[in-house]
Structures are given as C-alpha cells and as structure tokens.
C-alpha cells in the first residue's frame, strides 16, 4: 500500500508542477524504488536489469520505424501516398474520405505507428477536406480511427515490443495483423460510402495524371 501511494502520489506531484509526462513516469518509478521500504534490491541491480532488457535486436526496430515515418513526412512520400489513394478511389462521392482511409493504411504499412500516421496524413488532408465541405466532426473521427491502423497493419511497433517481451513469434503476429488490418480498412470504407451518400459529401472532380 505504501509503495502504491508513493508511486502514484509522486507521479501526480511531478505532473502538477509541470514535469513532462515521460520524465514524470521515470522520476516517479525511481523515487518509489529509492524511498519505498518494500524494495529490498539495490538500485545498481535495477539499472543492470534495465540495460540488460534493452539488449535486444528486435527493439532496435522501434527507432528505425520512427525515423522512417519522419523521412516519409519530410520527404514528400506522404503526399504521394495521398495522391495515389485519391487516384484510386477519389472519383466517387466522399472520395477524399475514402482516400484518407486508404492513405492511412498505406502509411501504416510503412511507419508502424498510429501517431505518425495521424500526423502525416491528417496534417495534409484534414484542412483540405474541411475546405471542400466535409463535416469537421466526421473528418476528425475518421482520421483518428483510420490512424489506428498503424499498430495493426504490419510492421507494427507495438507488435515488435509485445513479441520481444513475451517471446511470441513476430512473423505470426504480422500475418494475423495483416488480415485484421485489411478487414478494418474495408469496413471503414464501407461506412464512409454509406455516410457519404446519406449526408451528400462532396465529390472530388480532380483528374489524376
């Protein structure tokens, strides 16, 4: 009980005084380890366990995923993915919303991160879709839900971390995630088509080269 109070109390204190959440979590855990009477191990052993757990080639995939997402965003690949998706499904009513779902699926297959997918695709499509007349609430909700394809469609950062911790097969998780991700994408596109025809969303008239 004392350990739990010390952990959550120190974390709440750090957050209240303005410490960033990531540092507040680390500082709260460290304070609990140092000051809690329930811990009987030394700080040195805990540090060794932390660094020992980081010695994994699978975890090295995480910073490379983040790097790939940044490179695609800064290098213009995200815009090309959006244009490609718009060329495929953009000629029907609500086509830009369909292109958003398809572009998120493409970007998810490259970045493996939900926040990176939402930021990369949403920063381009959301203002443009609102300007074209799409409902703001529908567009924002669709963007958030479609961005959730990032951890599902492989490669996925969460799948790599989970498989590393539990010893599960990363290949098996990727195979399962591919089917589920495509199924979610198809269902989202079906919902978009239904709402687009029901609420008379705009139709993209731009032709693809």
pLDDT for 10-38, tens place per residue?
888 888 998 888 788 888 888 887 777 77
The β-bridge partners of 93 are 203
Confidence (pTM): 0.66
pLDDT averaged per 10 residues, the chain (length 209)? 79 88 83 74 67 65 70 73 77 84 82 75 82 87 86 80 80 85 90 88 64
Close Cβ partners of 95 (under 8 Å, ≥ 6 residues apart) = 86, 89, 203, 204
What pLDDT shows up at residue 208?
Answer: 55
What pLDDT shows up at residue 187?
Answer: 92
């Amino acid at each position: 009980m004392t350990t739990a109070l010390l952990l959550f109390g120190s974390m709440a204190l750090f957050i209240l005084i303005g410490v960033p959440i990531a540092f507040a979590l680390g500082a709260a855990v460290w304070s609990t380890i140092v000051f809690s009477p329930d811990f009987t191990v030394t700080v040195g052993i805990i540090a060794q366990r932390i660094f020992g757990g980081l010695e994994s080639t699978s975890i090295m995939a995480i910073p490379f995923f983040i790097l790939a997402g940044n490179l695609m965003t800064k290098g213009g690949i995200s815009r090309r993915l959006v244009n490609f998706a718009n060329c495929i499904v953009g000629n029907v009513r609500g086509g830009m919303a369909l292109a958003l779902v398809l572009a998120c699926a493409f970007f998810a297959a490259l970045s493996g991160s939900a926040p990176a997918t939402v930021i990369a695709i949403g920063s381009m499509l959301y203002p443009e879709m609102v300007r074209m007349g799409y409902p703001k609430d529908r567009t924002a909700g669709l963007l958030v839900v479609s961005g959730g394809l990032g951890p599902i469609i492989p490669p996925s950062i969460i799948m790599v971390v989970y498989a590393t911790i539990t010893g599960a097969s990363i290949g098996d998780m990727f195979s399962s995630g591919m089917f589920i991700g495509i199924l979610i994408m198809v269902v989202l596109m079906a919902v978009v088509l239904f709402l687009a025809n029901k609420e008379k969303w705009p139709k993209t008239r731009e032709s693809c080269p």
